[in-house]
Amino acid sequence: MRITALETFPVPPRWLFLKVTTDEGIVGWGEPVVEGRAHTVATAVEELSELLVGRDPLAIEDHWQVMTKGGFYRGGPVLSSAVAGIDQALWDIAGKAYGVPVHRLLGGPVRDRVRVYQWIGGDEPSEVAEAAAEQAEAGFTAVKMNASGRMRHIDTPAEVEGVVRRVEAVREVLGDQRDVAVDFHGRFSTAMARRVVPRLEPLLPLFVEEPVVPENTSKVREVTAATSVPVALGERLFSRWDFRDVLGAGIAVAQPDLSHAGGISEVRRIAAMAEAHDVTMAPHCPLGPIALAASMQIAFSTPNFLIQEQSRGIHYNVGSDLLDYLVDPSPFRFEEGRARVPEAPGLGIEIDEEAVRRAAELGHRWRSPIWRDDDGSFAEW
């Protein structure tokens, strides 16, 4: 079997899909994207295709090594995301070629069901209690919310109290049998994170996510040392080398993204490193169905797994949603907030290629919002 073509499709709301075709008719799908830089990643995929066309798609590890190291300059979100989507597609081909789901090729499932959580509240959270109640009624046992909107380097007591009150409202609705995770989204300085996170301790959040921006990961230990709340991060780390230092800094949860951190091949290695540091896994995935399908293969085959993010109904999904490009949505039909082990070959989903091609004609130019403080200076989104 040989790879004959790689084709990318920018589809709403903000995703990039990849189709890898072989001369035996087996097709693999991946999702290589940096949110807000989809066309840049598509160009990287096109450049990497020169290394793949005419080659054996089942030589997955050799392809990963060559794609990540063969260009001399390494790493970064664009290259790592391009590699990630290609890697997903190659694993999809491998599973279909052998007639088994990818998790079987990774050693088989270690659980029958995977817990997932639902997003509530939007970028600048509001009406979170009502949204949490709605999701609890729908059967979800965990929700995630942003802690705040824009945040100054050292902000006012009112902003601190606002974070606490919102999480209190959600905790009151959920009770003590469900969980709330709180996403700081890199909007907080180290000083503000150390001030706010301990205030959440009585509310027992499942975790607080990305309390500092990735360039300040050397400061993570200061945050973890200041609180008993589990700290999660990793959506903007792209390899096991990026995770190497933070895994020993007291974090509780690693969150590599299957569409950013080198795909299935690299995330399974990050998971193994995390296990050696008593760190559990909650793969980041506010993306599309292919990224989620790849994440599920890791979730079912990883012993130190905690919970899976998924994007159905997330505030970014304007105009299109998680299930819109699937022939059969049943793999993502969650029961009591859990997904069942996929048994279909490859990534376990069937992409509606006609729907993808129609959507790609429209495309998208999604960009991250640019936020500013009231004095006109840049603020972290």
- Residues with catalytic roles: 185, 284
Contacts 24+ apart (CB under 8 A), 199-205: 199/160, 199/163, 199/164, 200/163, 200/164, 200/167, 200/227, 200/229, 201/227, 201/228, 201/229, 203/164, 203/167, 203/168, 203/171, 204/171, 204/176, 205/167, 205/179, 205/180, 205/181, 205/229, 205/230
190 in Cβ contact with 216 (< 8 Å): yes
| Strands of the sheet with 15-22, listed across from one edge | 3-11, 15-22, 27-30
77-98 helix and 289-301 helix, angle to the nearest 10 degrees: 70
Q: For 89, list phi and psi in degrees, rounded to 5.
A: -65, -35
